[in-house]
Amino acid sequence: MDPVPSREIADMTGQAALPRKNGELVFDEAWQGRIFGMTVAMSHEACFAWREFQARLIAEIAHAEQAGESSSYYERWLQAFEHLLADKGLLDAGALADRTHDFETGRRDDVF
Amino acid sequence: MSGAHDEHGHHHREPESVLSLRVRALESLLVEKKLVSSEAVDRIVGAYEQDIGPHNGAKVVARAWVDPAYRQRLLTDGTAAIEELGFGGVDLQVVENTPGVHNLVVCTLCSCYPHALIGLPPVWYKSFEYRSRAVREPRVVLHEFGVDLPESVEIRIWDSSAELRYLVLPQRPPGTERLSEAELANLVTRDAMIGVALVPPPTAAAR
């Protein structure tokens, strides 16, 4: 069965509000959809509560704004997600760097 | 917006962005640790992209445009007519725009809205400003949404409630005679079904 969209996620307000066009979510690039989906999936699996992630996202946006960064909404989302996973002990920064390198060099090419 | 949903980002003609590679690496690690499955991510993205948007309502509108008998049933008993297409769970009245009448939906008390058909309400729909001004000065509000109707067009306001929701059946734009039902559904926007927009002809459509 398809998951039913959660109001808590879909109705986030303020700077955390999901980018939309004509009411529909907008993913300008495919990776934005993937990171959104991974975050929602892990909250469904109770790896973290949505409000925990939302607080991280808001903090990340505030930090980026203060630093005058021009990063996009989903870049900030990615940062917030990585930090949250690292703090939960679910992601090792070194492992991510290595794996990213594997994809950059073409050593790995898993398809998602 | 075209190209935004190209399969899963690995068929880019341009070199793949650093961010895209990093997110693939992240997904690969999380899948390996069995923290997520790629199928679950697919289903979530699909559900949020489609169920939150106005797709279901757009299908209802397109059917009414191509099938006069369905249109009649829809206007007579909206609740039963949307159930025919598999969308139920809401008491619905459909109000039809014509050259002489334009319909506008509001919920003055709260934010009653036909979620099952057009997804989640936009922030402005829930705002006190829209709720009060749509009734008081609908022509001004419509103008602010970019809709300027001739003075001769009557504007009817429909106030939604928990018991009864409204959906606007917009006018079918000219130049769409040869479009299929699915193509027509693609033209129909959420705002048009609330009544704060007209359905643009295909050449002017944004997507």
Helix extents (H) in B52-201: 55-66, 68-76, 78-84, 115-118, 123-126, 128-136, 138-144, 181-187, 190-194
The answer to whether A90 faces chain B, any CB pair under 8 Å, is: yes
What's this model's pTM, rounded to 2 decimal places? 0.57
User: How many CA atoms within 13 Å lie on the side-chain side of B8?
Assistant: 17
Task: For B50, name the nearest residue in chain A, comparing CA atoms only.
Answer: A24
If one compares A6 and B5, the residue with the highest pLDDT of the two is A6
The answer to whether B195 faces chain A, any CB pair under 8 Å, is: no
Over chain B, what is the mean pLDDT? 86
Under a CB-based contact definition with an 8 Å cutoff, are residues A35 and B23 in contact?
yes
Domain borders along chain B are: 2-206
Helix (H, G, I), strand (E, B) or coil at B93: strand
- AA letter at A108: R
Asked if the model's pLDDT at residue A91 lies above 50, the reply is yes
Q: Residue B138 — pLDDT band, cuts 50, 70, 90?
A: very high
Pairing of the two strands B154-159 and B101-106: parallel
Under a CB-based contact definition with an 8 Å cutoff, are residues A88 and A48 in contact?
yes
Asked if the model's pLDDT at residue B19 lies above 90, the reply is yes
Q: Residue B124 — pLDDT band, cuts 50, 70, 90?
A: confident
Asked if the model's pLDDT at residue A102 lies above 80, the reply is yes
Predicted local distance difference test score (pLDDT) of residue B3:
38
Q: Taking CB atoms and an 8 Å limit, are A30 and B5 in contact across chains? A: yes
Q: Residue B121 — pLDDT band, cuts 50, 70, 90?
A: confident
Rounded CA gap, B74 and B69, in Å? 9
Give the number of other Cβ atoms within 10 Å of residue A42's Cβ.
23
The answer to whether B119 faces chain A, any CB pair under 8 Å, is: yes
Four-way CATH pick for B2-206: 3.40.640.10, 3.40.1010.20, 3.40.50.300, 3.90.330.10: 3.90.330.10
Rounded CA gap, A82 and B32, in Å? 16
Predicted local distance difference test score (pLDDT) of residue B50:
65
User: In this predicted model, what pLDDT tens digit does every residue of B61-105 receive, in sequence order?
Assistant: 999 999 999 999 999 999 999 999 988 767 899 999 999 999 999
Predicted local distance difference test score (pLDDT) of residue B12:
39
Predicted local distance difference test score (pLDDT) of residue A22:
59
If one compares A7 and A14, the residue with the highest pLDDT of the two is A14
Closest to A106 measured CA to CA, from B116, B159, B24: B24
Give the number of other Cβ atoms within 10 Å of residue A39's Cβ.
25
Note whether ipTM > 0.90 here: yes
Closest to B110 measured CA to CA, from B133, B92, B128: B128
Asked if the model's pLDDT at residue A1 lies above 70, the reply is no
Rounded CA gap, B51 and B183, in Å? 18
